[in-house]
Structure 1
Amino acid sequence: MRREQHAGPLGVAIVDNDVCALDMMGLLIDRIRPPMTVLWKAVRAQDALEHCLFDERLPDVLVLDLALNGISGVDVCRAIRAKNGTIGIIGVSSYPLEPYRERMAEAGAQALFNKTQIRSRTFEGALRRAGSGVSVEGFKDFMTASTAHERLAGTRQTAVSLSRRELDVLRLYAQGMTTDEVCIRLNITANTALSHVNHVAHKLGVRRRTEAIRACQAMHLLD
């Protein structure tokens, strides 16, 4: 099923925790003709999730690195796809692709490329097809964005490997409780509560508790 297109060039977003690689991909995509527009670039998974779930203008296609700090690109892909059926998602990596291929297909991506292929016509064609909501040639095991969304929508899979107790702690902080109140409610020590928060922040690639709460809320993990 084709998506309804806005007027103007295809809108592309890029996520990569390597700033040099991020800038290089942005430059290469800016040079494509007919033109595409790089709407935004992000180094953190949290920022990408917030853009893709809450921005007024969403990208037509997201170029997503698979090795992000503290969270897998596969998990980011799944979290976005469960909530959105229009953004095309193309995974990229500097590492061998085979270990990721099945997981990215199941997570709702439309294609998967090695970063050495970004200059190729094949990659350019994949951007245009994924951004238009149609199947990408050569990736028959990958669903369209809309089909993948229908399959994943409403699932309660945790997008990152957070434990039940980690989510319990973060949920209480999100409700405005103090550390003492969290400890009393869960019968844990302050050190344990803070340790859970630090573990969550590390997995999400953020530094502050408020950032961890926002990231989990964006993925509806605290509902």
Structure 2
Amino acid sequence: MKGRECMEHETGCARLGVLDNDPFALAMIAGMFKGRRDVRIMWTARNAAPAVQLCMNPATRPETLLVDIGLEGMSGIDVCVQIRRFLPDIRFIGMTAYSPDVYEADAKDAGMECVLPKEDFPAIIGAVHGNIPIRKIHVNHNEDRGIGLSPRELEIMRCFSEGAAAKEVMAKLGISKGTLGSYESRAVRKLGARNRTEAVALCVRMHLFG
């Protein structure tokens, strides 16, 4: 989908790409920026592969990529890592229908500027123009117990403790199979466990789930 062209005399017109596998979300975002003279939506995409190709092409390369964290197959965070490996100057703004707190640490590590709720239109528009909301930094209280599990590692262990299958955890948190495996391995290692089952049991025993 091509957006409206910025007028040649306009300044500060942001070139934007949008990646979201939900067609309704894409329509919502397009409507959000409709009629604005300060933003040009260069394209929208529902899958990671074409979005990566569009970013690699100088003719269709956006200044900012607005990306859904919970993509199918390759997560928005994985897309950010892949593109920034070659194009570190592209700005990434994550969107999620869930709590941004769940993804914020991993998104920042990947190079995203922020993760915002999909329904927070003013914050998304502001972030596109560089006005990044200041969010409270959440302390990882597990480090005080000598465990050192990150919020994401703990969340994954909690999901497994509730009986979720790997595919369900991947879908809920918007991460790929490889990313899930990495977090799981780190959590198992930090807990000194032999496997996932033992790691979950240790978390329960130490009351890490609250």
State the match for 1:173 in structure 2.
Answer: none
Higher relative contact order (CA 8 A, sep 6+): 1
State the match for 1:44 in structure 2.
Answer: 47
State the match for 1:127 in structure 2.
Answer: 128
Note if contact 1:30-1:38 (Cα within 8 Å) is conserved in structure 2. Answer: no
Correspondence 1:76 to 2:72: no
Taking the aligned partners of 1:128 and 1:39, their CA distance within structure 2 comes to: 16
What does residue range 73-222 of structure 1 map to in structure 2 within 5 Å? 73-118=76-121, 120=122, 122-129=123-130, 136-138=132-134, 161=177
Moved over 6 A (4+): none
The one-letter code matched in structure 1 to 2:14 is: L
Taking the aligned partners of 1:7 and 1:139, their CA distance within structure 2 comes to: 35
Aligned residues: 133
Question: Is there any run of 5+ residues in structure 2 with no aligned partner, and where?
Answer: 1-7, 138-174, 179-210
Question: RMSD across aligned C-alpha pairs, in angstroms?
Answer: 2.6
Segment drifting more, 101-110 vs 51-60: 51-60
Note if contact 1:110-1:139 (Cα within 8 Å) is conserved in structure 2. Answer: no
State the match for 1:148 in structure 2.
Answer: none
Scaled by the length of structure 1, the TM-score of the pair is 0.54
Q: Please, which of 50, 56, 59 is the counterpart of residue 56 of structure 1?
A: 59
Q: Percent identity?
A: 26
Question: Is there any run of 5+ residues in structure 1 with no aligned partner, and where?
Answer: 1-5, 131-135, 142-158, 163-223
Correspondence 1:66 to 2:78: no
Compared with structure 1, are the counterparts of its residues 77 and 139 closer, same or farther at alpha carbon in structure 2 (3 Å cutoff)?
A: farther
Compared with structure 1, are the counterparts of its residues 7 and 42 closer, same or farther at alpha carbon in structure 2 (3 Å cutoff)?
A: farther
**1:119-163 deviation digits (Å, cap 9, x = unpaired):** x1x322210117xxxxx341698xxxxxxxxxxxxxxxxx9656x
